[in-house]
Amino acid sequence: MKALLVYPAIPDTFWSFKHILKFVRKRAAHVPLGLLTVAGLLPRSWDIRLIDMNVEPLTDESILWSDIVFMGAMVVQKESVSETVDRVKALGRKLVAGGPLFSSAEESYEAIDYLVLNEAEITLPMFLKDLELENPKHIYRTSEKPDITKTPLPRWDLINMNYYVSMSVQYSRGCPFDCEFCDIVNLNGRKPRVKSSEQMLTEFQTLYDRGWRGRLFIVDDNFIGNKVKVKAFLKTLIPWQEQRKFPFSLYTEASVNLAQDQELMELMTAAGFDSVFLGLETPEEECLAECGKHQNRSIDLMEAVKTIQRNGMEVMGGFIIGFDNDPPNIFERQIRFIQNSGVVKAMIGLLNAIPGTRLYQRLAEEGRLLKDCTGDNCDGSLNFIPKMDAQKLREGYQAVLDYLYSPKEYYARVLAFLEDYRPVRRKRMHKSDVMAFFKSIVYLGILDKGISKFYYWKLLIKAFLFHRDSFGEAVSSAIFGYHFRKLLRRGAPCDSVNAVPPRD
């Protein structure tokens, strides 16, 4: 059996980081870890190829080579999914699909031959058994949660690692919190399931043996969902990293209660973590209560960010505008919080109702749903009727983006971050880091138009004089700022990067 695994294209979004790729001569930021794991579940006797449409085109020849095509996707990829479905069907090949997009909206994909939904460790073997008997069904689904200690190694041999900025591994699935707007509980449950420490070290060693050095993303829904087990894992990871002189710099996603556990922060930085993404959402208490973000209500969010920064990890933050309880001055309050906290990489999105979430169900019952969500919560779209006037909401949201990512305010936020950030060790420089630094001089310090160049050189000089141990973070932040400014100009209604914040 010849199987072609296809990963659809991701549009230009906050998480695609497409505009930083030219600084490091890479084609995509992240690998298709889900499909690589699915490949490990397929029969070893099969001939398998993988096409990541973010790094290479999907050709008719590749489709015709196969006997069957597998596709995995997230909601944000649905435009590319539709185009791919049409092409595969037109060329007469059977198509199997799975992943968050299809598990949440299976009714929209009747044209796909086989939908293998939920977690593949359970449903994929069911499909493969029926396929062997030449009697496969249209849909395979389960509410059962698999034991991921039995999940196979990803098939790293199917990709060219040189195309990617970062590799990825998964330690756990599920999150103990049930935020109204989040689909994680629907997809992976509230009880975090973890891989064994031995299993994880095998994955790390496999990447190391294949020559990978540099960024490694732990893709968990909430890395610290099971604190007892994650601490045990970190205690085994620390000597592994030390013995190999820290070949990987790690980053992940976690909940804000990380700031309340000193031991856990110290273990993470000792293991090589230098940044973490937190769902901070909003400084408005009533909005946190509205969406069930109770873990954020029991802590001073500003102090939590500063605490994690002082313990050696940069905080990347997710923020949401568009809650029912947003006050009229929410735009300025979000600006104040983000600017004062030093959250440089701030993902600010309009609230969207994702199928399968409690928010989606509530809005449907209230008759407020308008259309499907795009999956890109930073594109300014709304798929429901908000309590605030929709035009005022969009204009205020765009003003927040314009202000926070204007060169003056953005670079000021980087310097504010460097004041609080206390790196545990100087970041190990790889060839791609050196290349990125010199390209930043060309693109940001020479070719960039307007006043941006002034703030770039101001940042570099101050970082060199006063924050030399964090110089790498300063350069990285400058490059990410270029990506964010490019996103601002992709057709938003307000195109000024020198906007003033809305007032109370």
Residue 166 pLDDT > 70:
yes
Average pLDDT over every residue of 201-220: 97
Residue 210 pLDDT > 70:
yes
Average pLDDT over every residue of 69-88: 96
The label of the residue with tokens 């994680």 reads: 184
Tens digit of pLDDT for each residue in 226-268? 999 999 999 999 999 999 999 999 999 999 999 999 999 999 9
At 490 the pLDDT is 59
Tens digit of pLDDT for each residue in 421-457? 999 887 777 778 899 999 999 999 999 888 999 999 9
Per cent of the chain over pLDDT 90 is 89
Average pLDDT over every residue of 285-308: 96
* DSSP SS3 for 374: coil
Q: Tokens at residue 399, please? A: 């003003």
Alpha-helix residue ranges (DSSP H) falling in 345-389: 358-365
Average predicted confidence (pLDDT) for the chain: 94
Give dist(CA 317, CA 327) in Å, integer. Answer: 21
- The residue length of the chain stands at 504
Question: Helix 301-310 to helix 407-420 angle, to the nearest 10 degrees?
Answer: 60
Residue 494 pLDDT > 70:
no
At 109 the pLDDT is 94
Question: Helix 407-420 to helix 452-466 angle, to the nearest 10 degrees?
Answer: 10
Tens digit of pLDDT for each residue in 99-130? 999 998 898 999 999 999 999 999 999 999 99
At 489 the pLDDT is 74
pTM above 0.85, yes or no: yes
Give dist(CA 496, CA 243) in Å, integer. Answer: 50
Least confident of 303-312, 361-370, 448-457: 448-457
Rg (CA), the chain: 23
Tens digit of pLDDT for each residue in 323-349? 999 999 999 999 999 999 999 999 999
Give dist(CA 386, CA 396) in Å, integer. Answer: 13
57 against 16, higher pLDDT: 57
Fold of 2-140: Rossmann fold (3.40.50)
- Burial class for 107, CB neighbours closer than 10 Å (0-12, 13-18, 19+): exposed
Q: For the chain, which residues make up each domain, given as ranges?
A: 2-140
Under the banding of pLDDT at 50, 70 and 90, the label for residue 47 is: very high
- Which residues share a beta bridge with 321? 350
At 368 the pLDDT is 97
Give dist(CA 133, CA 126) in Å, integer. Answer: 11
Asked if residue 384 lies in contact with residue 370, where contact means CB atoms within 8 angstroms, the answer is yes
Tens digit of pLDDT for each residue in 456-492? 999 999 999 999 999 999 999 999 999 999 988 754 4
Give dist(CA 31, CA 394) in Å, integer. Answer: 33
Neighbours of 43 (CB within 10 A): 10
